[in-house]
Structure 1
Amino acid sequence: MSIQWKGIMPAVTTKFTKNDELDFKMFETNIKAQLDAGVHGIVLGGTLGEASTLIDEEKRALTTTTVDIVKGQVPVFINIAEQSTKQAILAAQKAEIDGAKGLMMLPPMRYKSGDAETVAYFKAVANNTSLPIMVYNNPVDYKIEVTHDMFEEILVCDNIQAVKESTRDTTNITRIKNRFGNRLKIMTGVDTIALESLLLGAEGWVAGLVCAFPKETVAIYELQKAGRIQEALDIYRWFMPLLELDISPKLVQNIKLAEVATGIGTEHVRLPRIPLQGTERTHVLNVIEQALKHRPTLPDYKNLSVLV
């Protein structure tokens, strides 16, 4: 499957049982809801997927299970977030064996690598896998920025093809387009500036609140693509209080609580995370309640005429 770097790609949550085991039944319920909504890919093991708490066997089980559920309808990606180049290469090779069709890849974890080290890290992994790679550029949360000069160096690797653009600077989209044209595809990675990013030229959206509201998320993408901007904007404005739950240290708990409200998830998280409590919980529940009360009626977004 050749990767089409476009559309909505949920960064799905990892579902756990109350006994802290992988909950494949609820996980399948959510994945099927994403597919039914019309998403264009599935991203596993990201921040929302509680990657740092998963052991290797769990990551591999999530990959093979998702591949089996999806059955080739959309590509399955696994996030690479490792502490050493050796571990990252092994993770990429296991992902390929397990049926993933692409990688989302962060710079080295824990150690704040310099520019040359970061470039060498990405190139080493790219040269040891045939899978296409989307670089996750999130200096706000992970403290390492992949600059345009660094992209110039790593794009000698043909399988480095896209960026999950999470610098939170929308002007960066235009700078990337001006410098790299179509060589580097852009997937916006910040929910609260997603529509703006799409209108500025991002090809797609690696989304968070899509985990609980898949149809609304895909509708925004399809409407703006068809040039029906006001309709996309109306849904986006309704969505914004929910989208703001994604730019919080408690984004996992927030979004899992939203998944409970829409019937496609549970609240179980893995320690050291604990479910929301007190005023935090009350606030998030109120945001979700108000959103559900005013949930928009969606157009037939799967059958729109797309602007050329």
Structure 2
Amino acid sequence: MTKKWTGVFPAVTTKMTQDGNVDLTATQSSIHRLIKAGVSGVIVLPMLGENASLTLAERESVIRAAAEVTKGKVPLLSGLAETNLSAAKANAKLYETVGAQGLMVFPSLGYKTDDRETAEWYKGIASASSLPIMIYNNPITYGVDVTPAVLKQLVDTPEIVCVKEETGDIRRVTDTYIELGDRFSVFCGVDDLIVESSALGVTGWVSGMTNVWPAECVEIFSLCAQEKFAEARKLYHILTPSFHLDTHVKLVQYIKLAENLVYGAPEWTRAPRMPLVGPEREHVVTTVNAAITALDRRDRKAA
């Protein structure tokens, strides 16, 4: 599982009961569905998985439950989101013992590190376990940007193998390759930039909406990998309005509602997140239903 990561790695939503408890059975069912649809890996406890809202015991239970489903079929990564280095190192070790085969590591949630501090944060976590690491680079949300200059400081840290690129600046993909060659895998971390990012050579996609339409997202990525961009764009145009939902501050509620509409998964989240209501809910329902209709039309035409 330490070979170079490629392909579609959904950022898995953590299913909840209506009263806000973790629903491990529903979470396992969704992971099984993703694997069956052909994803190349799964990431539990991402931001989309409400990592920060779960207790440590709950996070451990989610990783264990996911490992029961993946069983070595695809790499199982866990999000690692902590405020201080001591806790991050301790939990990197813990997550390895309960079944994680890799880590998607957030910057410190308690402090906006400068470049030197950011590099030391990742080096410190890398030293805590043998797990390969994907850097979660989302400066829009977390205020810390792992630039090519920061990545240069991490070249000699072999555990760090990948960066999830979520700056929203499509030029960053090319800049990273120019500065660092193929030292790090570069994954697209923004659903509505996947075709553009694929044209620039990303090797994978950490995707939120793959929870909703796994087979179709795998198809888009596969077409792009084969440089069949004209075909990929046809499907991309159908799904992009829904992919835009992945970039909103309420992406957890949006994507869980979309999962509910498409295959009946529970839409519930943990407070302070609340169920969508009114025009906002109607917008998500209308957007997702439009994609459902367009996909059905596409599939009937293909048949």
Q: Aligning the two structures, in what range does the TM-score lie when normalised by the shorter sequence?
A: over 0.9
- Aligned-partner SS, 1:297: helix
2:247 matches 1:247: yes
Map Cα deviations across residues 190-216 of structure 1 (whole Å, 9 max, x no partner): 011111101111001000100111111
Q: How does 1:152-171 map to 2 (within 5 A)?
A: 152-171=152-171
Q: Is the 8 A contact 1:26 1:264 kept in 2?
A: no
CA contact (8 A) 1:192 1:244 kept: yes
- Partner of 1:77, secondary structure, is strand
- Opposite residue 128 of structure 2, the aligned amino acid is N
SS of structure 1 residue aligned to 2:49: coil
Q: Which residue number corresponds to residue 297 of structure 1?
A: 299
Local SS of the residue matching 1:15: coil
Name the SS for the 1:92 alignment partner: helix
Give 5+ residue unaligned stretches, structure 2.
Answer: none
Counterpart-to-counterpart distance in 1, 2:161 and 2:300? 33
- The alignment of Structure 1 onto Structure 2 pairs a total of residues equal to 300
What TM-score does the superposition give when structure 2 sets the normalisation length?
0.96
**AA partner of residue 241 (structure 1):** P
Contact 2:148 2:180 in 1 (8 A): no
Could you say which residue in structure 1 is the equivalent of 2:274? 274
User: C-alpha separation between the residues in 2 aligned to 1:297 and 1:9?
Assistant: 24
Q: Is the 8 A contact 1:48 1:251 kept in 2?
A: yes
CA distance in structure 2 between the partners assigned to 1:283 and 1:19 by the alignment: 25
Is the contact between residue 4 and residue 185 of structure 2 (CA under 8 Å) also seen in structure 1? Answer: no
Check 1:217–1:109 CA distance in 2 against 1; reply closer, same or farther (3 A cut).
same
Kindly state the Cα deviation for residue 298 of structure 1 after the two structures are TM-superposed. 9.5
Whether the aligned pair in 1 keeps the contact of 2:133 and 2:161 (CA below 8 Å) is yes
Tell whether the 8 Å contact from 1:223 to 1:231 is kept in structure 2 after alignment: yes
Please tell me whether the aligned partners of residues 165 and 187 of structure 2 are also in contact (alpha carbons under 8 angstroms).
Answer: yes
TM normalised by structure 1 equals 0.94
Q: Which residue of 1 aligns with 2:63?
A: 63
Q: CA deviation at 1:257?
A: 0.6
CA apart distance, 1:290: 0.9
- The equivalent residue for 1:258 is 258
User: Could you say which residue in structure 1 is the equivalent of 2:4?
Assistant: 4
Question: Which residue of structure 1 aligns with residue 235 of structure 2?
Answer: 235
Question: Alpha-carbon deviations, 1:209-268, whole Å to 9, x = none?
Answer: 001111110000111222322111100111001000001011001000100011152111
- Alpha-carbon distance between aligned partners in 1 of 2:299 and 2:130, rounded to the nearest angstrom: 42
Q: Distance in 1 between matches of 2:30 and 2:244?
A: 21
Partners of 2:30 and 2:38 in 1: CA distance: 13
- Counterpart-to-counterpart distance in 1, 2:64 and 2:148: 34
Q: Distance in 2 between matches of 1:26 and 1:263?
A: 12
| Aligned equivalent of 2:116 | 116
Name structure 1 gaps, 5 residues minimum: 301-308
Which whole-Å CA distance do the structure 1 matches of 2:285 and 2:19 have between them? 24
Once the two structures are TM-superposed, the CA of residue 180 in structure 1 deviates from its matched residue by 1.1
- The structure-2 alpha-carbon separation of the partners of 1:205 and 1:151, relative to structure 1 and needing over 3 Å to count, comes to same
* Alignment map for 1:1-308 (pairs within 5 Å): 1-295=1-295, 296-297=298-299
Q: Distance in 1 between matches of 2:246 and 2:215?
A: 17
1:299 CA displacement: 11
8 Å CA contact retained: 2:6, 2:203: yes
Residue identity in the other structure for 1:53: S
Contact 1:14 1:22 in 2 (8 A): yes
Q: Distance in 1 between matches of 2:123 and 2:236?
A: 37
> How far is 1:170 from its partner?
1.0
Of all paired residues, the percent bearing the same amino acid is: 36
**1:192 to 1:72, Cα distance in 2 relative to 1, 3 A:** same
After superposition, the Cα gap between the structure-2 partners of 1:26 and 1:299, relative to the gap in structure 1 and judged at 3 Å, is: farther
Per the TM alignment, residue 15 of structure 1 is displaced from its structure 2 partner at its CA by 0.3
Conservation of the 8 A alpha-carbon contact between 2:195 and 2:229: no
Deviations for 1:148-201, whole angstroms, at most 9, x for unmatched residues?
Answer: 111111221111011000011111111111111111110110011111101111
Instruction: Specify the SS of the correspondent of 1:232.
Output: helix
Q: Is the 8 A contact 1:33 1:264 kept in 2?
A: no
Shift of residue 110, structure 1, vs aligned partner: 2.6
Mapped partners of 1:103, 1:3: distance in 2? 14
1:277 corresponds to which letter in structure 2? Answer: V
Write the distance in 2 (CA, Å) between the matches of 1:71 and 1:128. Answer: 24
Distance 1:298 1:141, change over 3 A: farther
Contact 2:43 2:77 survives alignment (8 Å) = yes
Counterpart amino acid of 2:17?
T
Residues in 1 aligned to 2:152 and 2:252: alpha-carbon distance in whole angstroms: 33
